[in-house]
Amino acid sequence: MKLKEYLIETIKDNQIEFLTPSREYTKEEVDYMRGYQQALHDMLDDFTNELDASLCEEHTYSLN
Q: What is the pLDDT along the chain (64 residues), one digit of tens a residue?
A: 688 899 999 999 999 999 999 999 999 999 999 999 999 999 999 988 877 666 556 555 555 5
pLDDT for position 49: 87
pLDDT for position 55: 59
User: Is there a contact between 11 and 47 (Cβ–Cβ < 8 Å)?
Assistant: no
The CA-atom distances, in angstroms, between 2 and each of 34, 47, 54, 61 are 24, 12, 17, 28
